[in-house]
Amino acid sequence: MAFCIQLVLALLMLLVETAIAADIPKQKAPTMADVLAASKPGDWRALDPQRTLYVELASGRVVIELAPNFAPRHVANVKALARERYYDGLAIVRCQDNYVVQLADPDADKPQLKRKVHHAKATLPPEFECVLDPKLPFTRLPDGDVYAPEVGFTGGFPAARDPKTGKMWLVHCYGMVGAGRDAPADSGGGTELYVVIGHAPRHLDRNVTLLGRVVQGIELLSALPRGTGALGFYEKPQQRVPIRAIRVAADLPATERTALEVIITDAPIFQELIESRRNRREDWFHVQAGHIELCNVPIPVRPLSAQSARK
Amino acid sequence: MAFCIQLVLALLMLLVETAIAADIPKQKAPTMADVLAASKPGDWRALDPQRTLYVELASGRVVIELAPNFAPRHVANVKALARERYYDGLAIVRCQDNYVVQLADPDADKPQLKRKVHHAKATLPPEFECVLDPKLPFTRLPDGDVYAPEVGFTGGFPAARDPKTGKMWLVHCYGMVGAGRDAPADSGGGTELYVVIGHAPRHLDRNVTLLGRVVQGIELLSALPRGTGALGFYEKPQQRVPIRAIRVAADLPATERTALEVIITDAPIFQELIESRRNRREDWFHVQAGHIELCNVPIPVRPLSAQSARK
C-alpha cells in the first residue's frame, strides 16, 4: 500500500514536471528579437575598415566583409586590385536565378581589350580550404549537415571542418562572395567575383575560393534582372550593370564609410540566437523545427551605435 | 608458398580493381546534361491543365503546378477562387529578400474594402501535413536531412516523411507556393499566397500549407524590388505589382496555354539525375560533394515536345 502511494505520488510529480517543462519553454524561451533586444554593446563588433570592401553601384553600396583567416592571399589580392582601381568601370555581367551574380571584365576574353592588372596578381593558387586551426573559435551547430562533418560559425562566417583531414573551409551560404575561375584550379584570383543569391550551392564548397560575405546591400544584387543567356549572362552590353568602383573602406575618409557592427558569432549571445531559431517561439509557429541548417542562421548586422563607436 | 602467391595475386587484383573503380566514374559517369540528352519521351509528363495555375503579370506568366496529393482542399479552393476571379486586380504586396513574395488583397484588413469571397471558402482547416501514403512513389535521397527523418521527391514535389508519426509533408524549397495565414492555424485557405524566393526556409515546414510549385517564370517574382517596410512589405501602393489574373490552365483555350513537360521524379531517370548532381563530373569540378541536399536537386522542366504532345 505504501508502495502504491509512493508510485502514485511519483507519477503525479512526473505529471507536474512534464506540464511545467511543456509550459516554460513556450512562455520563457526568448525569440531572436528578445535575444537582440537584450544584447550588450560587447556582443557586437564594428567592421574593420581594412577588412571591408565597398562595391559602388548607381543603385547604392554593397558592403562586403573579407575573410583573411580563410583566404589570406585572395583577400590581399582583391584589396590590391581595388587599390589599383582594377574594378572601376567593369560590370555585373551575369545574374543567374537562384544561383549567383558575377562581377567581371566584359572583355576578359579579348586580349587587346581586357583590363590590365598592374601590381596585383592576375591569378593565384587556390584557397579552397585551409588547415584547421584549433585556436580559431568555432560555434558548432548541433544538428549536423548534409555535406560536411562539422559546421558552424567563426569570426562572422559560416564554415565547415573535417577533423579527419584536418581542414576547414568557408561555406556557400546566401550572400557569400567568391573568386570566379575557369576550369584550372589556379585560374582565379579575384579579378572576377561572384555573390550567392539563391539556395546555398553547397556543391561549390572547396571548389572555389570564398573570400567574404555581403553584410549590407545584397538586395542591390539579388533583385537584378536575370540574364537571359546561358548561365544567366546578360546578352546585350546595355543590360550589364556598371560597377562605379570597388574600394577598401579604410581608403575612404571615416565620414564616407558605412558604419556597421556585426554580432559576435563567437560570443554566448550567438548560441542564444541559434537556439531561438532552432525552436521558433513566436506565436505564429505551431510546430518547432528543433533543428537548424547552417545557412538558415541569420548573422545580424546593424548601424554602429554611438556607444560602440567609442569602444 | 602457394598461399603467398595467391595472396599477392589477390592483392594485385584488388589494386587493379581499385584503380579502375577510381578511374571509371570520373570518365564515364554522366553529367546532368548527359542524363537529359539521353532521356526518352516517357521520362517526361505534360503538365495536367487541371492542376496548373497561371499567375498573369504585366511582365509575363508564372506557371504553378498544384499538389492535390498533399493539400486537396487548398488546391480545390485556390482553383475555386481563381474561377470566381477573386485574385484579378489584387497585387504582390510583399517581397522580402532571401525569403518570400506574397500575393494578397492589399485591403484585406479593411472590412469595407476587402475583396469578397463568393463560392469558394475564405479560410480552411490546415493541411500542414497528411497521412503517409505508402502507395505514393517516393524517390528517397540517400544523404539525410537536417530537418526530417526522410526526404525525397514524389510526383514532382520535394517532400519529407516520418515513418514514426506516419505523416508526410511538402518541403519549403525554392519556388514552392503556400497559403499565407495569420496566427491561427485555420486562418489560411488560399486567398493569400506566398512563393519562396530564397534559401529554403525549412522552419516553415508543417507550419503553413504548401500547395504547389512554380515550374516556370519564378524570375518574374524573385527579381522584383525588395519591399522596404517590415517583413519586406511594399510601403507605397504604387510599389505593389498588380496581378492581372490567376487562371486554371484548363479554363483557357489550348492555344493559350503554356505547353510544358516536367521530368518524372518517380522514374529511374530521376535517380540518375540525382546521382549526376551528388557527384558533379563536369571538368570544372575538382572536388565532388558526394552528397546532395533536397532543395539542391533541380526538377527539369522544358517546352512540351511534339512527340510528347501526341502521347
**Tens-digit pLDDT profile for residues B273-306:** 999 999 999 999 999 999 999 999 999 999 998 6
A231–B contact, CB cutoff 8 A: no
pLDDT of residue A307: 65
**Tens-digit pLDDT profile for residues B180-209:** 999 999 999 999 999 999 999 999 999 999
Residues in B closer than 8 angstroms to A192, CB to CB, are none
Please tell me which residue of chain B has the smallest CA distance to A151. Answer: B146
- State the count of interchain CB pairs (< 8 A) between A and B: 119
A97–B contact, CB cutoff 8 A: yes
Residue appearing with cell numbers 553529367: B31
pLDDT of residue A305: 79
pLDDT of residue A29: 85
Q: What is d(CA B114, CA B126) in angstroms, rounded to the nearest whole number? A: 23
**What amino acid occupies position B66?**
L
Identify the sign of the CA torsion A101, A107, A110, A112: negative
End-to-end CA distance of chain B: 67
pLDDT of residue A311: 57
Please tell me which residue of chain A has the smallest CA distance to B182. Answer: A284
**CB-CB under 8 Å, B146 with A143:** yes
pLDDT of residue A15: 42
Q: pTM for this one?
A: 0.91
**CB-CB under 8 Å, A219 with B97:** yes
Distance from CA of B257 to the nearest CA of A (A): 22
**CB-CB under 8 Å, B97 with A201:** no
Which residues 6+ apart lie within 8 Å of A180 measured at CB? A102, A104, A188, A192, A193, A194, A208
Residues in A closer than 8 angstroms to B280, CB to CB, are 203
pLDDT of residue A308: 65
Residues in B closer than 8 angstroms to A206, CB to CB, are 286-287
Average pLDDT (A134-162) is 97
Q: Which of A296, A253, A252, A301 is nearest to A278 (CA)?
A: A296
Instruction: Give all strands of the β-sheet with A301-303 in edge-to-edge order.
Output: A44-46, A260-263, A301-303
Residues in A closer than 8 angstroms to B289, CB to CB, are 147, 202-203, 205
Distance from CA of A9 to the nearest CA of B (A): 31
Residue A150: is its pLDDT beyond 80? yes
Q: Which of A185, A189, A206, A210 is nearest to A129 (CA)?
A: A206
**CB-CB under 8 Å, B144 with A219:** no
B235–A contact, CB cutoff 8 A: no
Average pLDDT (A47-69) is 98
**CB-CB under 8 Å, B225 with A293:** no
Residues in B closer than 8 angstroms to A291, CB to CB, are 146-147
pLDDT of residue B19: 40
Average pLDDT (A36-61) is 97
- Give me the percent of chain A exceeding a pLDDT of 90: 88
**CB-CB under 8 Å, A292 with B207:** no
pLDDT of residue B12: 45
Smallest Cβ–Cβ distance between B219 and the set A201, A205, A226 belongs to A226
Please provide the DSSP assignment of chain A as one string: -HHHHHHHHHHHHHHHHHHHHHHHHHHHSPPHHHHHHT--GGGEEEPPGGGEEEEEETTEEEEEEE-TTT-HHHHHHHHHHHHTT-STT-EEEEE-TTSEEEEE-TTTT-TTTSPPP-SS-S-----S-EE--TTS--EE-TT--SS-SEEEEETTEEEEEETTTTEEEE---TTEEEE---SSGGG-SSSSEEEE-SS--GGGTTTSEEEEEEEE-THHHHTSPPP-SGGGB-SSGGGSEE--EEEEGGGS-GGGS--EEEE-TTSHHHHHHHHHHHS--STT-SS------GGGS---EEEPPHHHHH-
A233–B contact, CB cutoff 8 A: no
Whole-number average pLDDT of chain A: 92
C-alpha cell at A236: 546585350
**Tens-digit pLDDT profile for residues B83-108:** 999 999 999 999 999 999 999 999 99
A131–B contact, CB cutoff 8 A: no
pLDDT of residue B305: 80
Please tell me which residue of chain B has the smallest CA distance to A180. Answer: B284
C-alpha cell at A254: 571615416
**CB-CB under 8 Å, A146 with B293:** yes
Q: Taking a C-beta distance cutoff of 8 angstroms, is the pair B95, B232 a contact?
A: yes
A104–B contact, CB cutoff 8 A: no
Please provide the DSSP assignment of chain B as one string: -HHHHHHHHHHHHHHHHHHHHHHHHHHHSPPHHHHHHT--GGGEEEPPGGGEEEEEETTEEEEEEE-TTT-HHHHHHHHHHHHTT-STT-EEEEE-TTSEEEEE-TTTT-TTTSPPP-SS-S-----S-EE--TTS--EE-TT--SS-SEEEEETTEEEEEETTTTEEEE---TTEEEE---SSGGG-SSSSEEEE-SS--GGGTTTSEEEEEEEE-THHHHTSPPP-SGGGB-SSGGGSEE--EEEEGGGS-GGGS--EEEE-TTSHHHHHHHHHHHS--STT-SS------GGGS---EEEPPHHHHH-
Residues in B closer than 8 angstroms to A226, CB to CB, are 219, 222-223
Least confidently predicted of A59-73, B67-81, B103-117, B295-309: B295-309
pLDDT of residue A211: 98
Please tell me which residue of chain A has the smallest CA distance to B225. Answer: A223
pLDDT of residue B262: 98
Residues in B closer than 8 angstroms to A284, CB to CB, are 182-183, 207
A164–B contact, CB cutoff 8 A: no
Average pLDDT (A131-160) is 97
B199–A contact, CB cutoff 8 A: yes
**Tens-digit pLDDT profile for residues A212-250:** 999 999 999 999 999 999 999 999 999 999 999 999 999
Average pLDDT (B40-55) is 97
Residue B308: is its pLDDT beyond 80? no
Smallest Cβ–Cβ distance between B202 and the set A147, A174, A289 belongs to A289
Average pLDDT (B266-275) is 97
Q: Taking a C-beta distance cutoff of 8 angstroms, is the pair A50, A202 a contact?
A: no
Residues in A closer than 8 angstroms to B225, CB to CB, are 223
Please tell me which residue of chain B has the smallest CA distance to A184. Answer: B284
B173–A contact, CB cutoff 8 A: yes
C-alpha cell at A268: 554566448
Q: What is d(CA B176, CA B138) in angstroms, rounded to the nearest whole number? A: 18
Residue appearing with cell numbers 492535390: B68
**CB-CB under 8 Å, B224 with A146:** no
Q: Which of B291, B201, B272 is nearest to B29 (CA)?
A: B272
Q: What is d(CA A66, CA A78) in angstroms, rounded to the nearest whole number? A: 9
- pLDDT band (50, 70, 90) for residue B29: confident
Q: Which of B136, B157, B293 is nearest to B215 (CA)?
A: B157
Please tell me which residue of chain A has the smallest CA distance to B232. Answer: A219
Q: Taking a C-beta distance cutoff of 8 angstroms, is the pair A232, A95 a contact?
A: yes
Residue A162: is its pLDDT beyond 90? yes
Give the number of other CB atoms < 10 A from CB of residue A87: 25
With vertex at residue A56, the alpha carbon angle to CA A55 and CA A59, rounded to the nearest 5 degrees, is: 120
Q: What is d(CA A180, CA A82) in angstroms, rounded to the nearest whole number? A: 16
Residues B77-111, buried b or exposed e (16+ Cβ, 10 A)? bbbbbbeeebbeebbbbbbbbbbbbbbbbbebeee
B202–A contact, CB cutoff 8 A: yes
Label residue A12 exposed, middle or buried (CB < 10 Å: 0-12, 13-18, 19+): exposed
Least confidently predicted of A5-9, A26-30, A205-209, B138-142: A5-9
Give the number of other CB atoms < 10 A from CB of residue B283: 9
Q: Taking a C-beta distance cutoff of 8 angstroms, is the pair B44, B263 a contact?
A: yes
CA-atom Rg of chain B in angstroms: 23
**CB-CB under 8 Å, A144 with B146:** yes
Please tell me which residue of chain A has the smallest CA distance to B183. Answer: A284
Whole-number average pLDDT of chain B: 92
**CB-CB under 8 Å, B145 with A146:** yes
Which residues 6+ apart lie within 8 Å of B246 measured at CB? B53, B54, B55, B56, B81, B82, B87, B88
pLDDT of residue A11: 46
**Tens-digit pLDDT profile for residues A260-310:** 999 999 999 999 999 999 999 999 999 999 999 999 999 999 999 766 666
Residues in A closer than 8 angstroms to B292, CB to CB, are 146, 203
Average pLDDT (A85-113) is 97
Smallest Cβ–Cβ distance between A222 and the set B97, B143, B284 belongs to B97
Q: What is d(CA A252, CA B44) in angstroms, rounded to the nearest whole number? A: 56
- Dihedral, CA atoms, B205, B206, B212, B214, nearest 10 degrees? -10
